[in-house]
Amino acid sequence: MAKGNGTTFYLSEDLVPLVDKLKDRRQDPTRAATLRFLILKSLAELGYLPSLQKKALGLETTPTSP
């Protein structure tokens, strides 16, 4: 696993139960793991991550026709 740089931020009180619910459904060991996943997924969807990382996140890597 890559060495990280710690960052602290606060969630609004209404988001904490939602993140915890997702944490339980994903069976993540910590809330931080769930938040890392959500951030990476968003970055991938916005096109900031390479195809291999998108594939690892379970996102479609081939363009779809309209």
Summary mean pLDDT of the chain? 88
How confident is the model over 20-44, as pLDDT tens digits? 999 999 999 999 999 999 999 999 9
Please state the rounded mean pLDDT for residues 4-19: 93
Specify the pLDDT at position 13. Answer: 96
30 CB contacts (<8 Å, ≥6 apart)? 23
Using the CB atoms, write b or e for 4-39: b if 16+ within 10 Å. Answer: eeeeeeeeeeeeeeebeeebeeeebeeeeebbeeee
Q: pLDDT above 90 covers what percent of the chain?
A: 62
Alpha carbon 7 to chain centroid, angstroms? 15
pTM of the model: 0.78
Rounded to 10 deg, the angle between the 31-45 and 15-26 helix axes is 90
